[in-house]
Amino acid sequence: MSAPLLRVRDLAVTFPPRRGNPAVRAVEGVSFDLAAGQTLGLVGESGSGKTTTGRAILQLQKASAGSVELLGRNLTTMSGAQLRGMRRHMQFVLQNPHSSLNPRMRISSILTEPLLVHRPIPRDQFAAKVDSLLEMVGLDPEVRNRFPHEFSGGQRQRIVIARALAVDPDFVVCDEAVSALDVRTQAQIVTLLADLQTRLNLSSLFIAHDLALVRRLAHRVAVMYGGRIVELGTAAQVYENTVHPYTRTLLDAVPVPDVQAQRKRLRNAAPPPVFPREYDPRHPCVFGEVHAESGTPEWHEIAPGHNVSCRFWPAGMTPGQ
Amino acid sequence: MSDPFLKVRGLTAAFTTRGRDVQVLNGLDFDMAAGEAIGIVGESGSGKSVTARALMQLAPEGSSIRLGGSVTFQGQDLLQYSERQMQTLRGSQIAMVFQDPMTSLNPTMTVGAQIDDMLRRHKGLSARPARDRTVELLERVGIHNARRRADDHPHQFSGGMRQRVMIAMAISCDPALLIADEPTTALDVTVQAQILRLLLQLREDLGMALMLITHDFGVIAGMVERVMVMYRGDIVETGPVERIFDAPEHLYTRALLAAVPRLDAPEAKP
């Protein structure tokens, strides 16, 4: 098997103590691989560490431990200059299409900016590139001289995507890229992203709180809680053969557009159990392993490619249930 | 025959910004029965939130709203009410819960003081009984150590707890109609489920009517008996919730429902 496009190992981010508050371990022990052309969905609730994970992978947030290898090169140990050279391979599609486009810049300038920074092509090809980018995201190249405010939310999100793709990256991080959009626009952008990924063999980390949306786009899904991945597998494994109780709780809470099913869900919505943060590796975990003795990570393979953490299991719950 | 609980006829709303009028509601007609739960669903710009604001005669900050038509609530035409009469009605007869409780809670006052205030103003309670009732209300919406937490300020609550406080305030004067405008949109999905469940229980226990405004078909599905679908200031379709989901008639409703991502239906994947 060839090396993955992106390899993340034991990634951790700790925010230093501030104003009398203790240090916060926002991300801990995050490991996964991402193959070329694949989408990994990263889901979790606010404070789970999913956005920080995305930023740490792009080196927009300093990791306190662990490694991030893109195209076989370790980003965490690179100098600033080396990292700048790597930035054209990885791009960020931001959350808010209203604030992430400079209102004073014309679309052509917005799309040319990354080309000026990274110089992937000679200057005399910039204009043609701008037109092809606009076409690629389904916009008429004639809009190149307009300003962001002349576009709808969905069109602006297309421009944000075009800008990220300007330097032909291998990997993009989409952080809640479609969350602010109306449902029909959202569906169109998701279709566009899926289509672009196939055409460009692009890999992406798709961070979102909407589990149904992630299901549409992700090949593999990682569920985060308390700064750690608690379950990772193919979309079908995580959604249909759910093992971790936190994943179960999340899935059960998603409102479904089906009257009978949703009424039943609400009636049965028990308060979520407590997912304990304390963990003692000297005691047998829910899978019966004493990690202090075995020295293995707190991470168990349930089926090929389907892994579950033995942390955050509510008292009395076991994997067999 | 007696008037329905709420009867809206030819309701129009226009905003005046920079001297120009923009019509956002094009003459809505609908009724609501006492105790009924109705959902208004639509995309941004459909007029669903303006409909709620029009009923409450609340204009968004910095704008003025001009209303036309009639809103007959328990036999009274609210559009003929003075602002003073509306102030009495808001909170006591019709209460509203917004998406972001921070915009409707006063950050400088403890949450207890704010609910006390409502009870003293609308129910004429004195300080002690008002606080007792406040604590009862906070307990009712699932806030633990309610007597102590009543002395906390809004920022000391998590998003979900703040929304519970907002709901406690909304139900404090036993409104006949509760309007909830995207009450769970800003919340995490597990918290959302708890808040929706709380709203269902309160409705059952207190018998109040509920108007739930949301863009989320999943949220609306389990909460209401009837749905109105709005598009650009018009109600394009209305009917029992089962019918809207199982056999939508209007093309727009069909398009909306088809676009909703589903947990069990993977697609679009390369």
% of chain A surpassing 70 pLDDT: 98
Q: Is B266 inside a domain boundary?
A: no
% of chain B surpassing 90 pLDDT: 82
How sure is the predictor about A170, in pLDDT bands with cuts at 50, 70 and 90? very high
Indicate which of B144, B188, B192, B219 best probes the interface with A, i.e. most A CBs within 10 Å of its own CB: B188
Which residues 202-221 of chain A have a CB within 8 Å of chain B?
209-213, 215-219
In the numeric block, which tokens belong to residue B213?
């405004």
How sure is the predictor about B266, in pLDDT bands with cuts at 50, 70 and 90? low
Nearest partner of B213 among B202, B130, B199, B204, judged by Cα: B199
Q: Is B184 inside a domain boundary?
A: yes
pLDDT recorded at residue B72: 96
Indicate which of A183, A185, A206, A213 best probes the interface with B, i.e. most B CBs within 10 Å of its own CB: A183
Per the confidence metrics, is the pTM higher than 0.95? Answer: no
Residue B156 has phi, psi (to 5 degrees) of -85, 0
When CB atoms are compared, the residue of B200, B241, B263 closest to A256 is B263
Q: Can you tell me the distance from the alpha carbon of B67 to that of B37, in angstroms, rounded to the nearest whole number?
A: 24
Q: Can you tell me the distance from the alpha carbon of B253 to that of B259, in angstroms, rounded to the nearest whole number?
A: 10
When CB atoms are compared, the residue of B197, B260, B270 closest to A198 is B270
| Mean predicted confidence (pLDDT) in A159-165 | 94
Q: Would you list which residues of chain B are within 8 Å, Cβ to Cβ, of chain A?
A: 43-44, 159, 188-194, 196-197, 200, 215-219, 221-223, 241-242, 245-246, 255-270
| Mean predicted confidence (pLDDT) in B166-184 | 94
Residue B192 has phi, psi (to 5 degrees) of -55, -45
Q: Can you tell me the distance from the alpha carbon of B100 to that of A173, in angstroms, rounded to the nearest whole number?
A: 28
CATH number for the domain that contains residue B249: 3.40.50.300
Q: Which helix or strand (DSSP H or E) is residue B38 part of?
A: strand B37-41
Residue of A199 and A94 predicted with greater confidence: A199
Q: How many CB atoms lie within 10 A of CB B173?
A: 18
Provide the 3-class DSSP secondary structure of residue B151.
coil
pLDDT recorded at residue B65: 85
**CB-based contacts of A39: which residues, under 8 Å, 6+ apart?**
A197, A203, A204, A205, A206, A217, A218, A219, A220, B269, B270
B1 has pLDDT over 60: no
Q: Is B269 inside a domain boundary?
A: no
DSSP string, A196-261: HHHHHT-EEEEEES-HHHHHHH-SEEEEEETTEEEEEEEHHHHHHS--SHHHHHHHHHS--S-HHH
Nearest partner of A8 among A66, A59, A80, A84, judged by Cα: A66
The 10 Å CB-count burial string (b at 16+, else e) for B246-257 is eebebebbeebb
Q: Is B268 inside a domain boundary?
A: no
Q: Report CB contact under 8 Å: A45, B189.
A: yes
Q: pLDDT tens-digit profile of A64-102?
A: 999 999 999 999 999 999 999 999 999 999 766 667 889
Q: pLDDT tens-digit profile of B55-93?
A: 999 877 667 888 999 999 999 999 999 999 999 999 889
The 10 Å CB-count burial string (b at 16+, else e) for A111-135 is bbebbeebeeeeeeebeebbbebbe
B269 has pLDDT over 70: no
| Mean predicted confidence (pLDDT) in A175-202 | 91
pLDDT recorded at residue B42: 94
A309 to A41, A224, A296, A305, B94: CA distances (angstroms): 17, 10, 12, 13, 48
Q: Report CB contact under 8 Å: A218, B269.
A: yes
**Beta strand pairing call for B64-73 and B76-77:** antiparallel
Provide the 3-class DSSP secondary structure of residue B12.
strand
Q: Can you tell me the distance from the alpha carbon of A220 to that of A32, in angstroms, rounded to the nearest whole number?
A: 10
B267 has pLDDT over 60: no
Q: pLDDT tens-digit profile of B246-264?
A: 999 999 999 999 999 998 8
What is the tally of structural domains in chain B? 1
| Mean of per-residue pLDDT scores for chain B | 92
The interface predicted TM-score of the complex, written ipTM, equals: 0.89
Q: Is B267 inside a domain boundary?
A: no
Q: Report CB contact under 8 Å: B269, A194.
A: yes
Q: Report CB contact under 8 Å: A190, B217.
A: no
Residue B171 lies in domain = 6-258
